[in-house]
Amino acid sequence: LSVIPDADILAEKLQIPFLSHRGAMHSIIVTFLVFLPVFAVYRKTAFPYFLALAQHSLVGDFLTGGVQLLWPLTTQVYGIGLSITSTTNILMEEVAFIASIIIMVKTNDLIRLFKPRKSNLLLAIPIFTVLLPPLLNFPLAVPAWLIPPHLFYVLIFLASILMTLKSNSLHR
């Protein structure tokens, strides 16, 4: 879920109106409007998903450049111009990574990830978004400390997909 706001990169390339990168899809107002019904239905179970999304669009992108935080009220960009390679940003990313593991363990999502389910195949999307940038811009300047979290997620997502594919072929 955390990579979804960056679908606006694609939208911008396709020249879809109002969808510029770090625009509407990174707005705190749009995020709350979208999550209001989700919270109403799923209550606190929706919270980890909200955190995943907010960690990217409202925290990470806010720290490293800026976002149209108050779209549609204003297209003004708000943010702190931290470098992706700055210690503060790396620390924030690592804290979010550790928090995500704790949440996945507490909610049993980590166990659920290794049970074959068709929806696990959707994990191809985050794998694709992690692997595409380094393939397009090789070598990509990523701080070494941020490589292990990426590898961790790519590996557990890949294992989850392979497990689902294997069980599907067994059932055939």
Q: Which residues would be at the binding site for Zn ion (CB under 5 A)? A: 5-6, 61
Q: Which is closer to Zn ion, CB of 61 or CB of 93? A: 61
Shortest Å distance, C-beta 139 to Zn ion: 22
Gyration radius of the chain's alpha carbons: 17
Query: In the bound complex, what is the minimum distance in angstroms from residue 60's beta carbon to Zn ion?
Result: 7
Residue-wise burial string across 101-122, b where 16 or more C-beta atoms lie within 10 A, e elsewhere:
eeebeeeeeeeebeebeeebee
Q: Specify which residues 78 forms β-bridges with.
A: 67
Q: To which residue do tokens 């990217």 refer?
A: 56
Amino acid residing at 47: F
CB of 9 to Zn ion, least distance (A): 8
Half-sphere exposure of residue 26: CA atoms within 13 angstroms, side-chain side: 29
Going by C-beta distance under 8 Å and a sequence separation of 6 or more, which residues neighbour residue 120?
A: 113, 160, 161, 163, 164
Structure tokens at 61: 């992108």
| Cα–Cα distance for residue pair 144/151, rounded to 1 Å | 11
Residue closer to Zn ion, measured from CB, 71 or 160: 71
Pick between residue 54 and residue 161 the one whose CB is nearest to Zn ion.
54
Q: How far is the CB of 126 from Zn ion (least distance, A)?
A: 14
* Nearer of residues 72 and 166 to Zn ion, judged by Cβ: 72
Of the pair 68, 120, the CB lying nearest Zn ion is at 68
* Residues forming a β-bridge with 81: 64
